[in-house]
Structure 1
Amino acid sequence: MTAHPPFRKVLDGVATREQMFQLFSRHKDTPGVDLLSGTPYSGEWFEIAASEYHFMLDLLPPLFMRTGMFGMSEFKAGNVTSVFFAIRIRGRERWFHGFCDLTDRQSPDKMRAAIIAHETGASDSMTRAEKLEAIWNATHPHFKGIAGEINPHNWPAEHRGKRVILVNDGGNGTIPKLLEDLSDNEIDNRMGAMRPHTKRRGSNDDDPS
């Protein structure tokens, strides 16, 4: 099994409130993961709107709060909880949510640094793993699933339980394909289709913090 990077973006663009709550529980139907530990969520982050940041701040008394950051008092699982960030990036205020494992008390600060590093990098700074996560999250449930849940004999044993999406295979029509096997062109096409719905921010200002 491929190890996750310590911090990883799971949605391209700014999450709506509906998307935010979906991402809070996105692993609930993932087979073979230990949800009680919170580990599948630890290190995941995505961008939200200011309204969602303040909505969550008012929802429950925070576990901790300091300038530009607060943690939820209700843990996701184990020592993993939601941390919300208000970060000024290139002269603009932006807001983010991340799952931090507070076994490491420095994890919120490390995540904040990782978000800034990611968002001030190249214009297309998402890794392949991050793009696949964004594609999976943006794909309608009717067009994705888990290999082997239906007609298990259609999939080799080593692929059962992996994530699958439907792709257009030209003359072969629409076929299921392992998410991890998407070609670079397929990834770029799907990311490109998602981006027009995202309001892109300018980059005239240079202040990264």
Structure 2
Amino acid sequence: MIPSPAIAKVFQGVASRQQMFRMFNRHAQRPNRWDDNATALYAGEWFEIGETEHDYMFDILPPLWIRGSMFAMREFMTGSVTSVFFALRIDAAIRYFHGYCDLSDKTSVETMRVAIIERESRPIRTMTRQERLEHIWSTTADDYRGYAGDRWPVAARGKRTVVLYGGNEGTFLKLLDELADEEIASKLPVHLRHLSSPIAA
């Protein structure tokens, strides 16, 4: 019900340990959580973490494998999807990332590595509309995000929703994908509101 791009940055900035653990299961509230195959939902999601968080995850369990500056977690999130951690040199600095890779696809780890380097090597800080929506989803508390249920039109059911504040009208739910530009801006932290789109950059 929730389409995910093949590779998707889901959080802007460097995630703290608390944020990292929250994002490991961003879709925990989804309908029919125990009945569906969530491989397509998780595979391809990635975000940046700090060196301390990277090293902490390395020490939790013996990795499934280590390849140069990358390692994979032994415990799988769903199906053949597991956490892969990257230490990548970008613009002369070592930075650290977490990504969900589908190990049934032998190219998934390298595809993720290349996509992260390409995305983070942009000369100008930008955010696509989808990255803005994913950041909003990642940072909204569980009480203020959810999924459209039986009261919604059939075509909307199961899609992600967020709570908006309508001033005198109070709060209301809206489909995440249908947020207007000004609604997106109101849900983003101040330092991200005015980043340009990569199309305009």
User: Shared topology, TM-score over 0.5?
Assistant: yes
**1:109 Cα shift?**
1.1
Deviation at 1:94, TM superposition (A): 0.9
Cα separation, 1, equivalents of 2:78 and 2:176:
27
1: CA distance, partners of 2:125 / 2:142: 26
Q: CA deviation at 1:46?
A: 0.7
- Partner in structure 2 of residue 39 of structure 1: 40
Q: Map 1:163-202; keep pairs closer than 5 Å.
A: 163-193=160-190, 195=192
Matches within 5 A, 1:127-166: 127-148=128-149, 152-153=150-151, 155-166=152-163
| Alignment: residue pair count | 192
Q: Which amino acid aligns with 1:185?
A: E
Provide the identity percentage: 46
What is the deviation of 1:3? Answer: 4.2
Aligned residue for 1:206?
Answer: none
| Whole-Å separation in 1 of the counterparts to 2:45 and 2:182 | 25
Residues 47 and 185 of structure 1, relative CA distance in 2, 3 Å threshold: same
* Equivalence for 2:8: 8
Displacement, 1:101?
0.6
- Kept in 2, the 8 Å contact 1:28–1:35? The answer is no
CA positional deviation for 1:28? 2.3
TM-score (norm 2): 0.84
Equivalent AA in structure 1 for residue 49 of structure 2: I
Distance 1:6 1:186 in 2: 26
For residues 118 and 66 of structure 1, what CA distance do their matches in structure 2 show?
Answer: 22
| Whole-Å separation in 1 of the counterparts to 2:144 and 2:162 | 6
Confirm or deny: 8 A CA contact 1:39 1:80 kept in the other structure: no
| Contact 1:167 1:177 (8 Å CA) reproduced | yes
In the alignment, the residues of structure 2 paired with residue 131 and residue 100 of structure 1 have an alpha-carbon distance, to the nearest angstrom, of: 22
1:178-201 deviations in Å (ceiling 9; x for gaps): 1111112222343343649xxxxx
- SS of alignment partner, residue 86 of structure 1: strand
Aligned match of 2:72:
71
Other structure's SS at 2:85 match: strand
Q: Does 1:58 align with 2:59?
A: yes
Shift of 1:105: 1.4
TM score, norm. by length of structure 1: 0.81
Contact in 2 for aligned 1:13/1:195 (Cα 8 Å): no
Matched, 1:25 2:22: no
Taking the aligned partners of 2:51 and 2:165, their CA distance within structure 1 comes to: 37
**1:128-161: per-residue Cα shift (whole Å, max 9, x none)?**
222111101111223222222xxx43x2222222
- Partner letter of residue 16 of structure 2? T
Instruction: Tell me what 1:202 maps to.
Output: none
Alignment partners' CA distance in 2, 1:77 and 1:165: 25
4+ runs deviating over 6 angstroms: none
Match of 1:199 in 2: none
- Answering whether residue 123 of structure 2 is matched by residue 126 of structure 1, we say no
